[in-house]
């Protein structure tokens, strides 16, 4: 974070400064990172004591001070060994401070903000864009999947006067959340990847999802750039909602940043990248043709950051996986390949994962889909789980292993499809599924493990990866 006095932080957060026994003064400077988890606090950092649904950060204020926190931002006074700023709402205060810090850096430096949203692919694209930004100087990118009202500001607060690029993943579970994040860190480059049914239960349908994701580009000024997916009809509609210059990416002939001649196997995906009049062949080691969309979005951002096509290709080819638990290739013993893609799952990403599984398997070898529930689909849940079960059958997946009662409709859908006879099995929990799989997987099997994060199958994927390492 930039250097700010306690008085400046109190003013930015609309809080009341309490010096306590610390010996500090209002002019004492703090420039450490901000944390909302006391276990992550290091010397000189700021701890925001948020009151959440399951716990109260004030219970861990003492631990944060013991770990070296230089400042507490609290909703009620607590450990007075360090200065405290008392605010009405610690989460809102976090956003207020992020807004102030980003505004100061924008006013005094050469900072480019890249905002990324979409129903699928945000984290993968963020990681690829970060590889582009790294070639332009000091950069800050969202850690993990920090893309909400807490993770977004925590990322923004890491910028300093040296930062040249801020790569901010911006997610939402309801309307207005992306707009709040873009108000904190106004993008010069706003990327929209896809509009799908992820979080449909919270959004209330595809049109609400469209309105929410379009918040990324609605407020962009004329001098900004809207990087839009020409292959997604809902994203294409956003052209009429922005004043910014539109830069298309995709496989569509009208795309400014385009891919052609795509092919994939278990080693990754190859495609020809077209930027303007230049073309290069890309050997992209991230598994799955659907990730070409993310690569093109990142290439578009790289081009806007001023990188030549050669450096863009180098950055793309340096990526070895999308992110942890996203099409992560594991295993290898007896030719068994485990693809752990169980960090997130929407109907679109589940379908893409199954298509990849069918495409990359060696001829004559088996494909096994280990699937759990897709969360947050609301009224669409049963219908979409049924559709995925049917797709697994129609793609010719050799065996379907369904885990967890929330995903049972996947199993029922598959066994009701007359072309199958016993190829789908159901287990209540991961332990039962693990025991079955380690006993039945065969030489050269290719296994996809896929579910929403809440279903927890990423742990099952890790266990299988270790068992067949």
Known binding-site positions for ATP: 118-124
Six token digits for residue 208: 């609400």
3-state secondary structure string across the chain = CCCEEHHHHHHHHCCEEECCCCCCCCCCEECCCEECCHHHCCCCCEEECCECCCCEHHHHHHHHHHCCCCEEEECCCCCCCCCEEECCCHHHHHHHHHHHHHHHHHHHCCCEEEEEECCCCHHHHHHHHHHHHHHHCCEEECCCCCCCCCHHHHHHCCCCCCCCEEEEECCCCCCCHHHHHHHHCCCCEEEECCCCCCCHHHHCCHHHHHHHHCHHHHCCCCCCEEEEECCCHHHHHHHHHCCCEEEEEECCCCCCEEEEEEEEECCEEEEEEEECCEEEEEEECCCCCCHHHHHHHHHHHHHHCCCCHHHHHHHHHCCCCCECCECEEEECHHHCEEEEECCCCCHHHHHHHHHHHHHHCCCCCCEEEEECCCCCCHHHHHHHHHHHHHHHHHCCCCEEEEECHHHHHHHHHHHHCCCCCCCEEEECCHHHHHHHHHHHCCCCCEEEEECCHHHCHHHHHHHHHHHCC
What angle (nearest 5°) sits at the alpha carbon of residue 424, between those of residues 420 and 426? 155
Q: How far is CA 399 from the centre of its chain?
A: 29
Tokens 């480059």 — which residue? Answer: 189
What number of other Cβ atoms are within 10 A of residue 3's Cβ? 10
What angle (nearest 5°) sits at the alpha carbon of residue 76, between those of residues 38 and 170? 55
Residue ranges for the binding site? Answer: 118-124
């Amino acid at each position: 974070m930039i250097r700010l006095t306690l008085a400046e932080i109190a003013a930015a957060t609309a809080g009341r400064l309490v010096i306590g026994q610390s010996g500090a003064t209002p002019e004492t400077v703090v420039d450490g990172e901000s944390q909302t988890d006391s276990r992550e606090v290091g010397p000189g950092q700021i701890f925001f004591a948020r009151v959440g649904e399951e716990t109260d950060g004030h219970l861990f204020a003492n631990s944060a001070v013991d770990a070296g926190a230089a400042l507490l931002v609290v909703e009620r006074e607590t450990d007075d060994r360090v200065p405290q700023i008392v605010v009405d709402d610690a989460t809102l205060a976090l956003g207020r401070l992020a807004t102030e810090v980003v505004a100061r850096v924008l006013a005094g430096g050469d900072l480019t903000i890249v905002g990324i949203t979409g129903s699928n692919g945000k984290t993968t694209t963020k990681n690829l864009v970060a590889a582009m930004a790294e070639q332009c100087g000091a950069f800050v990118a969202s850690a993990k999947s920090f893309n909400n009202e807490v993770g977004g500001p925590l990322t923004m607060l890491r910028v300093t006067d040296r930062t040249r690029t801020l790569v901010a993943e911006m997610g939402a579970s309801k309307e207005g959340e992306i707009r709040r994040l873009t108000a904190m860190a106004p993008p010069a480059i706003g990327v929209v990847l896809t509009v799908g049914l992820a979080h449909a239960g919270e959004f209330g349908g595809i049109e609400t999802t469209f309105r929410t994701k379009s918040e990324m580009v609605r407020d962009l000024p004329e001098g900004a750039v809207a990087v839009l997916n020409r292959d997604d009809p809902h994203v294409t509609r956003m052209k009429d909602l922005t004043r910014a210059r539109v830069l298309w990416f995709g496989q569509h002939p009208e795309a400014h940043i385009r891919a052609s001649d795509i092919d994939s196997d278990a080693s990754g995906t190859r495609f020809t990248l077209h930027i303007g009049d230049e073309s290069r062949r890309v050997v992209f080691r991230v598994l799955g043709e659907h990730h070409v969309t993310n690569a093109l979005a990142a290439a578009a951002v790289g081009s806007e950051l001023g990188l030549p096509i050669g450096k863009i290709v180098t950055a793309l080819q340096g990526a070895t996986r999308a992110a942890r638990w996203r099409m992560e290739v594991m295993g290898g013993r007896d030719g068994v390949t485990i693809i752990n893609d169980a960090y997130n799952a929407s109907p679109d990403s589940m379908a893409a994962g199954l298509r990849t599984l069918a495409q990359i398997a060696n001829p004559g070898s088996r494909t096994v889909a280990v699937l759990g529930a897709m969360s947050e689909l609301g009224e669409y849940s049963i219908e979409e789980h049924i559709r995925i079960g049917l797709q697994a059958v129609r793609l010719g997946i050799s065996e379907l292993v369904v885990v967890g009662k929330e995903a049972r409709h996947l199993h029922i859908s598959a066994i009701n499809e007359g072309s199958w006879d016993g190829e789908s099995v159901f287990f209540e929990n991961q332990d039962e599924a693990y025991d079955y799989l380690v006993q039945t997987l065969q030489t050269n099997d290719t296994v996809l493990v896929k579910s929403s994060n809440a279903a927890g199958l990423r742990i099952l994927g890790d266990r299988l990866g270790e068992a067949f390492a």
